[in-house]
């Protein structure tokens, strides 16, 4: 691998990235690189993320609040993730979530979620 051009380094501030409104009161902000994406996802208590799966590996780090997750096509596994905890979701694992309280969730995806970038993530927009 060659040395990357230092001019391609970019710097971002979360408070300067516009929030994108989704279903319920869910909003998010995205920063995308070539092979990774990081998102701040803001959920209010009771917001739900419907079951979905994706080829992207996902790290979910809860900074504030708590999310209840269900995994599998029929909710075979249930797990609560709270502030200071990290969840690793492998590629193609069906999952859904419910905000147990107001939550700030940091999601990291590899590769970047093309459906989020293109606005074709209908499960979050209905």
Report yes or no on whether pTM surpasses 0.85: yes
Predicted pLDDT at 1: 61
Span 37-65, average pLDDT:
98
Q: Is residue 16 helix, strand or coil?
A: helix
85 vs 14: CA distance, rounded Å: 21
Domains of the chain: 18-124 (2.60.120.10)
Per-residue pLDDT at 7: 87
**40 pLDDT tier (thresholds 50, 70, 90):** very high
Which pair of structure tokens corresponds to residue 113?
Answer: 């979620």
Residue with tokens 């001019």: 7
Give whole-number Cα distances, 18 to 50, 62, 103, in Å. 24, 21, 18
Please give the span between the terminal C-alpha atoms of the chain, in angstroms, as a whole number: 43
What's the mean per-residue pLDDT of the chain? 96
pLDDT above 80 (res 89) = yes
Mean pLDDT of all residues in 64-84: 98
């Amino acid at each position: 691998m060659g040395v990357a051009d230092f001019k391609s380094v970019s710097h971002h501030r979360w408070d300067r990235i516009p929030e994108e409104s989704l279903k319920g009161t869910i909003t998010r902000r995205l920063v995308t690189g070539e092979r990774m994406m990081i998102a701040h996802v803001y959920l209010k208590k009771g917001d739900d993320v419907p079951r979905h799966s994706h080829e992207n590996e996902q790290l979910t780090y809860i900074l504030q609040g708590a999310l209840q997750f269900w995994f599998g096509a029929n909710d075979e596994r249930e797990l609560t993730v709270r502030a200071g905890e990290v969840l690793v979701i492998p590629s193609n694992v069906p999952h859904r979530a419910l905000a147990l309280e107001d939550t700030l969730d940091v999601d990291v995806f590899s590769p970047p979620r093309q459906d989020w970038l293109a606005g074709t993530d209908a499960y979050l927009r209905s």
